[in-house]
Amino acid sequence: MSVTTSAPSSRGTSLRREVGLVGLAWASMGSIIGSGWLFGAQKALIVAGPAAIISWVIGGVVILVLALVHAELGGMYPVSGGTARFPHYAFGGVAGASFGWFSWLQAATVAPIEVSAMITYGQHYSFANGWLNPKTSVLTASGIVVAVVLMALLTSINFLGIRRLATANSTATWWKVAIPLLTIFVLALANFHASNFTAANGFNPDKAHGILAAVSTSGIIFSYLGFEQADQLAGESKNPRRDIPIAIIGSIVLGMVIYIALQVSFLAALPSSAIGKTWSDTSSHLYYTTFTGPFAQVATLLALGWLAGLLYADAIISPAGTGLIYTTGSSRVSYGLSRNGYVPTMFEWTNERGVPWVGLIAAFVAGCICFLPFPSWQSLVGLITSASVLMYAGAPLSLGVFRRRLPDAERPYRLPAAGVLAPLAFVVANLIILWSGWDTDWKLGIAILLGYLILVVSRVFHLNDKPPVLNWRAAQWLPPYLIGMGLIVYMSTFGPRSWIPLWWDIVVVAAFSLAIYYWAMQVALSREQIEAMINEVVLPEEEGLAVAPA
């Protein structure tokens, strides 16, 4: 059904296609280069020692596989909030609502972690000293007030419209990419000590467990997150079928290069006085493990005051830019959820600039709530990582279905060896959930149940005039999948029981993932059902796909 232009400005439901290739690429890149680069190298070194370099490579390869899957899907179906909607087209209402909620949960919780990073680095300034407990790195009452104010600023800027936002984000991203590159170069020249790679308790103190734990719990996967922003903004792209695959793949490759180089330069630049007897030694306030602004404090120790000044400034710009674009993404995900009939229709309301403003307000409220149970940067990382990969898990399942059911559909980017890479992507997504550990995953389980409650309330009270067909049969694998993953984590070495030894838990997750994957392939929607849904939702007159052929 077309949308009339005479509707009140607060009740419009159409978006504007005003974002070009650079805007999409920098939306993804600007999300990847956020607070992760400010803290990731330090946190990974604490967990895995110098072997954290291996962790960054593993994390990058894992995310690249997932990004390649998203590149094909985003080019095929360039709809707003794409990651929340692909499973809907493949498996119908139950799976679509579930993965849509995972997607929104991930997007809405990134902005508060970026705000937390800004406040943490802000401890350099005397006026911010009371905002953070120096021993626990937890926000104080005044810190929470400041965090809420910063969240309000990020939300307010989003009301300016997607064109201005994309322009501002592109400008900020040039800075955000330049500063890490400058830091890598300067630290490598100023103080590169190869002996640091075997200092303290050695290159790989905790062996494989430390390397794998660092991937998910120290901020590595979190740092790589963000490539999907091009998918989320697809409904506002000028030429999505051409631009989205380029933006997604290009951003993750550049992100891998920067993050691996940052880990090497941070490790090599550490003065010997900043390294304890072990890589996790916190017995002295002079050790790098206690730094609240890792790169800036290393620069200060090396008498690079000008670089430290730049880094403290970047600690405001980089997280703010990432928080800004994720706030944008979360409102587009909720917009997509409403278009699919899962949440109240009001999440489709747009203002005169084409901004889905109800979704912005919801993201603001959710972000503020996060400061209460997760009041520090580190405490939020694990939750967001798990929510993200759970969201990402829906993409390889969807790709597998589309390849089987719609083999002749137009694919501007076609993933090579999709028959192998799609199930592999699903396996690695579940491995990251395993490595996140039980302490994080049980909290994610509570958040999932809360999401289902919201979806049920919306349906019971008829808050959306497009109630979806739930397709229970096509999603019969979903409850066993969620419950099974929880049980495996609980019984693994990353859970409280350790009944399944290291390496065997990886084998169990891989076997379980493949069983779920091929089960899902068998019961997915038929070709006719998928085509009917695509024709209803993704037609040019519905989404405004006035684009040139790829």
Q: 442, exposed or middle or buried, with CB in 10 Å at 0-12, 13-18, 19+?
A: middle
Flag whether pLDDT at 377 surpasses 70: no
Domain extent at residue 156: 18-543
Distance CA 488, CA 512 (A): 9
Q: Please identify which residue in the block is written with the tokens 């990651």.
A: 83
- The rounded percent of the chain whose pLDDT value lies above 90 is 37
Residue 11 belongs to some domain of the structure: no
- Name residue, tokens 């929104």: 104
- pLDDT value of residue 15: 53
SS3 string of 374-424? CCCHHHHHHHHHHHHHHHHCHHHHHHHHHHHHCCCCCCCCCCCCHHHHHHH
> What was the pLDDT predicted at 11?
52
Instruction: Give a yes or no: residue 12 inside a domain.
Output: no
Q: What is the pLDDT of residue 547?
A: 38
Structure tokens at 27: 């939306």
Confidence of residue 425 (pLDDT cuts 50, 70, 90): very high
pLDDT tens-place string over residues 520-550: 999 999 999 998 877 776 554 344 443 333 3
Please give the single-letter amino acid code of residue 159.
F
How far apart are alpha carbons 531 and 528 in whole angstroms?
5
- C-alpha 271/C-alpha 255 separation (Å) is 27
Cα–Cα distance measured from residue 231 to residue 395, given in angstroms and rounded to the nearest whole number: 11
Could you read off the pLDDT of 281-313 as tens digits, one per residue?
999 988 999 998 899 999 999 999 999 999 998
| Residue for token pair 């068998």 | 522
Q: Judge whether 2 lies within some domain.
A: no
In this prediction, residue 4 carries a pLDDT of 39
pLDDT at 546: 39
Please say whether the beta carbons of 316 and 176 come within 8 A: no
Is residue 159 domain-resident?
yes
Tell me if 68 is assigned to some domain.
Answer: yes
Only one residue has tokens 């203002």, namely: 351
Distances (CA, A) of 425 to 119, 126, 287, 289, 393: 35, 46, 38, 33, 7
| pLDDT > 70: percent of the chain | 89
DSSP 90-146: HH-HHHHHHHHHHHHHHHHHHHHHHHHHHHHHGGGSGGGGGGB-TTT--B-HHHHHH
Of 163-172, 264-273, 487-496, 508-517, give the lowest mean pLDDT range.
Answer: 163-172
The residue whose two tokens read 């640091």 is: 196
**pLDDT confidence band for 275 (50 / 70 / 90):** very high
Q: Stretch 168-189: mean pLDDT, rounded?
A: 87
* pLDDT higher than 70, residue 6: no
In-domain check, residue 60: yes
- Residues 428/429/430/433 CA torsion (nearest 10 deg): 120
**Number of domains making up the chain:** 1
The amino acid present at 177, given as its one-letter code, is V
- Return the number of other C-beta atoms located less than 10 Å from residue 105's C-beta: 24
CATH code at 313?
1.20.1740.10
Confidence class for position 76, pLDDT limits 50, 70, 90: confident
Q: How do residues 428-454 score in pLDDT, each as one tens digit? A: 889 888 888 888 788 888 888 888 888
Number of Cβ within a 10 Å radius of residue 420:
10
Q: Is residue 4 part of a domain?
A: no
